[in-house]
Amino acid sequence: MHHLIKDLAILLLVSLPINIVFHRIKVSSVMGFLLAGIIIGPYGLNLIDDSEEVKQLAEIGVILLLFVIGLEFSLQRMLKDLKVILGVGSIQVGLTALVSYFIVLGFGYPMNQGLLFGLLIPLSSTAIVLKMITDRAEIDTRHGRLCIGTLLFQDICVVPMMLIIPLLTQSGQLSPLDFGVATLKSIAAVAGIFFLSRMIVPRSLQAIARLGSKEHLMLFVILIILGTGWVSESLGLSLAMGAFIAGIIISESEYSHQIILDILPLKDYFGSVFFISVGMLLQVEIFYDSVLWYLGLAGAVIGLKAFLGFLACLLLKNTFRVSFVVGVRLAQVGEFSLLLASLALEKDLFMPGHYQSFLIVTILSMLATPLLIQFSEGLSMKLNSLFGAASSVESESEEQKKLSGHVIIAGFGMVGRNLSRVLKETRTPFIVLELDGERIKQALSEGITALYGDSTHRDILIRAGIQQAKMMVFATSDFNAAEQAVRLARQLNPDVYILVRVRYANQVEALNKAGANQVIPEEFETSIEIFSRVLREYHIANNIIEQQVELARLEGYSMFRGLSLDITSMKKFSTYLTASLTESFHVLEDSWCHEKSIQELNWNKDLDAKLIAVVRNDQLQADPASDFRFEAGDIIVVFGRHESLDRSLQRLQSGK
């Protein structure tokens, strides 16, 4: 017993610094845990030397990891993103499984070995890819959504795969009946999960929660984990499968958030136990004996998966660039493959040495992932310019041919839709570029001129009329694509005004250098909107708020461009703005002052504020006479103290 406690303490001692280091360099700690396992295991420094204990740790790690994964699994999210999940995901998994199966059979291995590798190789690393996509702010990009949808589909496939693996231990040919039984077990497991999550567990958790003790709630959660695992094993499934089902059951309850908060501090440790234990099982001398062979094998697996992922995206009419990026993102073998491999090892499905070979190839593919992701964007741009198909649309519409002095909007998300609506209402000519087919359909249904294509491609920009455009707005979340497209747009039209929306302020400088006229970082503009609303809640005058907004933008955007402003001058400027208490009022047809003269308003008699000017038809009329009559469309400029300005605006609007 003391050996197990010592081993767990060593794992914790190792996982802590790894988490710190890999968090700082913004790389998934999974790779660090695998490397740590190799170093401290029986084939490294031998800090943990009992191979049986290592296998027990790996089994504990599998159970804990699958419970946490099940806890974060969401049936509602799966149903919401069903179209994306079933699209590229089903083709990628199906193609990779089929090709892997026939390749293994081609080398003379038995059918169950071919099926096993057909299950293991299609799965990619959710932990590594999702973390890097998040860190690179690519979640809302086209390739980001496709990657996440595919990873989610792969996660779903793990459930039937865990049920199929025990069947592969049977000798001889596997009949269709065996797979039919496995499918029925999968359906029964899903039905049981749905029943428990909707009927039994929420009521039980509610009854326990009424007792008002967190300890009672956590004890009941542990009971669910152990009970589900026991029932699962009794039905011929694995303990790990039971832990996964337990996590899903709890995730669908209304108390899941509190339970997740209680479990979350241990999440990384649960994961580290599994990945470090897997690393400890790797025999380093086997890798050293055939370094070139394993490097070549890992390269072949990465190349195969990247090509098939690329092909899956291309078959669903995604652009060359997006398909290439998705293929490279999903080219590694993932942690679920290690999980399934551990289960297969328990069932003696691996022939001697094959598990070690699979482990080495998987770890090498994971270690290569950050480098592949780093260079995939730039490489995709270059390949796209050489081989990328420009667009999948028909010939240009009449509206496209007539466009001149128009706005090109790259992206039809929320920002693009709102901008399109305003431009349409003001009858400003524009065209939308979008990579998502569903968004193209939505735009066309709203009578908007839209073009399916990639803004990083020269032919697409030319078809959108970049050389005749007055302005181009990038309303996408893909920073790398935006930077490339800005350079291309500036090259094709040196006079076009380019406005770019980005997520983070640290991306502004790069886009300015690329040729953007104005870059709007979301986090900076959000901060301005927040302090504006705070000041309004304290009834600060609108002109003061606007002055602070302009001051913040002047200071902020100058800082983003690398300029420095004199602090004393800034303070003087702020004082000057604050002292200039002016307000403007736009006259509408329902305004009380409409078609009334200044004399009829009793302005000079009742109000202290000074009416200093009226703007009509872009013409300024300073200090208008008392018989001047206001018309709809006039902009009235008044000057005075806060209270006087408020009374004046109320008089103009309602006569009070």
For 280-299, the three-class secondary structure string (H helix, E strand, C coil) is HHCCHHHHHHCHHHHHHHHH
pLDDT score for 293: 92
Q: Tell me the residue ranges of DSSP E strands in 536-653.
A: 582-586, 610-616, 619-622, 635-639
Backbone angles phi, psi at 279, to 5 degrees: -60, -35
CB 347 within 8 A of CB 139: no
SS3 (DSSP) at 464: coil
| DSSP H or E stretch at residue 541 | none
> Count of CB atoms within 10 A of residue 183's CB?
13
Q: What is the mean pLDDT of residues 631-652?
A: 82
| 170 vs 94 pLDDT, higher one | 94
Lowest mean pLDDT among 53-57, 144-148, 571-575, 611-615: 571-575
SS3 (DSSP) at 493: coil
Model pLDDT for residues 15-58, shown as the tens digit of each residue: 778 777 877 776 667 777 878 888 887 877 877 766 666 666 66
Q: What is the mean pLDDT of residues 545-567?
A: 61
One-letter amino acid at 329 equals: R
**471-474 and 407-410 as β-strands: parallel, antiparallel, unpaired?**
parallel
Q: What is the mean pLDDT of residues 613-636?
A: 85
Q: What is the mean pLDDT of residues 551-567?
A: 57
| DSSP H or E stretch at residue 431 | strand 430-434
- What is the sign, positive or negative, of the torsion defined by CA atoms of 590, 591, 592, 597? negative
Q: How far is 60 from 41, CA to CA, in rounded Å?
A: 17
Q: For residue 545, what pLDDT band results from cuts at 50, 70 and 90?
A: confident
> Count of CB atoms within 10 A of residue 352's CB?
6
Long-range CB pairs of 560-565, under 8 A, 24+ apart, other chains included: 560/505, 560/508, 560/509, 560/512, 560/519, 560/521, 560/524, 561/508, 561/509, 561/512, 562/509
| 144 vs 175 pLDDT, higher one | 144
For residue 407, list its beta bridge partners.
430, 471
SS3 (DSSP) at 279: helix
Query: What tokens does 271 get?
Result: 């994961």
For residue 434, list its beta bridge partners.
452
- Residue 474 burial (10 A CB sphere; 0-12, 13-18, 19+): buried
SS3 (DSSP) at 409: strand
| DSSP H or E stretch at residue 626 | none
Q: How far is 226 from 229, CA to CA, in rounded Å?
A: 5
**CA distances from residue 567 to 544, 552, 573, 599 in whole angstroms, order as listed:** 20, 13, 10, 46
Query: What tokens does 275 get?
Result: 């990945």
Q: For residue 572, what pLDDT band results from cuts at 50, 70 and 90?
A: very low
Q: What is the mean pLDDT of residues 246-258?
A: 73
Q: How far is 438 from 543, CA to CA, in rounded Å?
A: 43
Q: How far is 261 from 166, CA to CA, in rounded Å?
A: 34
Query: Which domains, from first to last, does the chain contain?
Result: 2-175+271-382 (1.20.1530.20), 398-502 (3.40.50.720), 581-656 (3.30.70.1450)
| 180 vs 562 pLDDT, higher one | 180
Mean pLDDT score across all residues of the chain: 77
Q: What share of the chain is helix, strand, coil (3-state, %, to 5)?
A: 65, 5, 25
Q: For residue 408, what pLDDT band results from cuts at 50, 70 and 90?
A: very high
Q: For residue 483, what pLDDT band results from cuts at 50, 70 and 90?
A: confident
CB 63 within 8 A of CB 240: yes
* Residue-by-residue DSSP string for 19-34: HHHHHHTT--HHHHHH
pLDDT score for 404: 83
Indicate left, alpha or beta for 628 from its phi (over 0: left) and psi (-120 to 50: alpha).
beta
**CA distances from residue 399 to 24, 404, 458, 462, 506 in whole angstroms, order as listed:** 51, 10, 20, 15, 38
Q: How far is 519 from 593, CA to CA, in rounded Å?
A: 40
Model pLDDT for residues 264-305, shown as the tens digit of each residue: 566 666 667 777 877 787 888 888 888 899 999 999 999 999
Lowest mean pLDDT among 406-420, 546-560, 622-636: 546-560
